[in-house]
Chains A and B, each alone.
Chain A
């Protein structure tokens, strides 16, 4: 029983914190983290709730392996109804916060209501109280963490917080922990801000020694770590080059969305790639990349720590940004770079720092800038409206707009709406590149067909982390499939989605799946968790979680019409590269997918499917 069996319920209306027992029957069906917290969420919240109303709840949750010696066992997730999407949101983060929450003795925290004034939650083991956060409101994530650590006089306190973006209603605000790790997508930070909840500070000293069979667990965890170490991707590729190494791969394949998906190859891709990050800069003879970094308990260590060029225009008079800090990861580098045609690595790092500092999602932000730049090129947005020239490729505009969005100034307020609302406002809804109002990540659905289906059907809006078929279609993990065809993709997407739901409910990082399969995770769970955790049970659970999330979205008002891609991807063929001439085959794949899932033509799970899954 790797659960602490305790939930902290925080009523922000009344300012109370209450401990309650974890529902162990549900834990047997939904394991933890994404699955279990979503079960709580949908049992307690009306699917039609306005995401920013006090009736929406926000859950911070660990998995049974969080805080244990399992590799990458430091993950935690935030579950809520997303501000950006209006769909179920589940944003997962690494760093150290999740493990500390577990060490303090809590499986999850459920926040309900809304505080009348800014507060933060302070947890020290069993003790939890809401404290005044008037002095923190208006502060950045980085300032907030520093102030809290100082006032608690404990540098080992772990903090997650919103920055000014979450306070200002940026629709894709994140919750950042440990300075540069984030529950990043769907606007979970916006919901936190709407509750006047600035931060959670946690200190735990209890450890996680509550294993069903500690000896069996240690041997399973050790065996699984060996698999990661011996695998060329998780043992060498990710620690050495990080996720950023994909930039040139995806560009060569002609699937790197460029300039708001007008193009699929970026002429400056190499300049913003992992290879460029290790080159010595002419200005100071130093490389951008300083070192790699790991989250709690991680033996992969894919994280990037970089130092910006002090002579770059964005920071030349801002020494506060000169130190080593997190970034760039592939998704951020793509969204801030290729998506709006900017090939200036230092500008991307600056914008990324601002996203971390003030807590907003660099994917949605970068892609929204891309949409704004297209509206500018079309003459719909003007220099007067934006406050500057903003053609594709302008590094200056990117940096200034990042700052304005963080502070809620001028046109930054409009960028904070996200691309769907922005494009709608200016009469061009079709130019928003996303699904369910959430912007696409870094893979073009026309050049990697399975990803189009994964985006269209992702329960939290366009997302690569709900079914990463890139692993198969590009990297050959577990087997190579052809990225240019639609055949077989319905089953592939379903398999990835269901397996991912299990990993996301366990407390480990999805990057383990470059080396692990469910067969590597299962022995760890079986030894750690009370109950009978067979492969079959886990596989069924993944599918159950997916269908449970789908039911919430259907009840929230989403229909099959929302499982769609923007017209550009269905009608404008790729111009260059191996996918030249192709559009997305989403209309062919979607019915096949519904069938594979046991859903009707409207995307509604059939009675038999629900019964089979125990829903």
Chain B
């Protein structure tokens, strides 16, 4: 299987699931097996499902139903937030 390089970004309370060094940037470089889905990354990092509220790949929204099938492509950035809002 070929590998793909991607970036995982976790924000707000989810940043606690990042290694210490990565917390400074909220970003972690990852090497994934080709075909790894969003849902598999969520599970690998032990992120509670209900905290994975806003999921973006390269800034575009990934609906909950697509997480299990959407595979990450080389160079993409997966960013995840818990339920948040602002004004």
Q: A residues engaging B (CB < 8 A)? A: 231-234, 236-238, 240-246, 248-249, 252-254, 270, 274-275, 279, 329-331, 464-465, 468, 470-471, 474-477, 480, 482-483, 510-511, 514, 577-578
Contacts and interface: CB of A to CB of B under 8 A. Distances in A.
A254 B85 CA distance: 17
Residue of B13, B77, B82, B87 contacting most chain A CB atoms (<10 Å): B87
A253 to B, nearest CB: 5
A279 B53 CA distance: 23
Given A232-B53, A249-B86, A252-B59, 19 more contacts: A233-B84, A234-B85, A237-B12, A240-B13, A241-B12, A241-B84, A245-B81, A246-B84, A248-B79, A253-B56, A254-B59, A270-B26, A275-B12, A468-B87, A474-B54, A480-B63, A511-B87, A577-B58, A578-B60
Given A253-B56, A253-B59, A275-B26, A248 B85 contact: no
Interface residues of B, number: 26
Contact of A232 (B25, B58, B83): B83
A234 B85 CA distance: 8
A243 B86 CA distance: 4
12 contacts: A232-B53, A232-B82, A243-B87, A244-B86, A249-B11, A252-B77, A254-B59, A275-B11, A331-B87, A465-B87, A480-B61, A577-B59
A261 to B, nearest CB: 17
B44 interface: no
A270 B11 CA distance: 10
A562 B87 CA distance: 24
Contacts of A236: 13, 82-83
B85 A471 contact: yes
Contacts of A233: 83-85
B85 A514 contact: yes
Contacts of B53: 232, 476
A232 B50 contact: yes
Residue of B15, B26, B61 contacting most chain A CB atoms (<10 Å): B61
Contact of B9 (A231, A252, A331, A476): A252
Given A237-B85, A243-B87, A249-B84, A274 B12 contact: yes
Interface string B1-29: 00000000101110100000000111000
A471 B84 CA distance: 10
Contacts of B58: 577-578
Interface in B12-52: 12-13, 15, 24-26, 50
Contacts of A237: 12, 82-85
A245 B61 contact: no
Contacts of B13: 236, 240
Contacts of A482: 61
Contact of A477 (B25, B63, B85): B85
Residue of B58, B81, B85 contacting most chain A CB atoms (<10 Å): B85
A572 to B, nearest CB: 19
B54 A475 contact: yes
Contacts of B12: 237, 240-241, 245, 274-275
A335 to B, nearest CB: 13
B87 A464 contact: yes
